[in-house]
């Protein structure tokens, strides 16, 4: 079944937080280490509803099963405003069903609509699923920060994957 991709609404925040907390618990998808509450994410959520940095959700049978969003690169620096960071997360019960691929594709389309020129994603080097997805979507490895991620006694590289829009 193909997901419906659309702009997030206020009613989606709780589901987004559930998905993000799963990513935190996975220890491979974010540098956050503590579970968050919806109240913790309100300002972040609202900033994406009223900006040029959209927040999209993927729905299957009206259930939010993933989300993706754009973030500014080096905010407040006009010379860099054509570059954005892409982020995406999928509910653990819906991995490997093409949800992340659909979200990333929709996000890149939105980048074109908003006239961004460059997109990048930052991932841990142990996140093989994200690396494969990014490569499939035309992203290339543009940078590596060796040994900067310290998670539960393990050390990982932070990888920067980028592409032109």
Enclosing H/E stretch for 147: strand 140-151
- pTM equals 0.95
pLDDT of residue 30: 94
Check pLDDT > 80 for residue 116. yes
Check pLDDT > 80 for residue 134. yes
Q: What is the pLDDT of residues 25-79, one digit of tens each?
A: 999 999 999 999 999 999 999 999 877 999 999 999 999 999 999 999 999 999 9
Residue 84 contacts residue 71 (beta carbons within 8 Å): yes
> What CATH number labels 4-164?
3.40.630.30
Percentage, residues of the chain above pLDDT 90: 96
Check pLDDT > 90 for residue 1. no
Check pLDDT > 90 for residue 150. yes
Beta strand pairing call for 55-60 and 4-7 = antiparallel
């Amino acid at each position: 079944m193909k997901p419906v991709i659309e702009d997030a609404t206020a009613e989606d925040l709780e589901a987004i937080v559930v998905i993000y907390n799963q990513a935190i618990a996975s220890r491979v998808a974010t540098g956050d280490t503590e579970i968050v509450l919806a109240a913790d994410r309100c300002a972040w959520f609202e900033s994406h509803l009223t900006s040029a940095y959209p927040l999209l959700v993927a729905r299957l049978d009206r259930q939010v099963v993933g989300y993706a969003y754009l973030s500014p690169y080096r905010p407040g620096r006009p010379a860099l405003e054509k570059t954005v960071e892409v982020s995406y997360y999928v509910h653990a019960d819906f991995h490997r069903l093409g949800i992340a691929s659909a979200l990333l594709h929709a996000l890149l389309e939105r980048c074109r609509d908003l006239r961004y020129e460059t997109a990048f994603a930052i991932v841990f080097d142990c996140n093989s699923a994200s690396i494969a997805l990014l490569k499939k979507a035309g992203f290339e490895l543009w940078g590596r920060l060796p040994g900067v991620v310290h998670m539960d006694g393990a050390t990982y590289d932070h990888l920067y994957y980028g592409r032109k829009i």
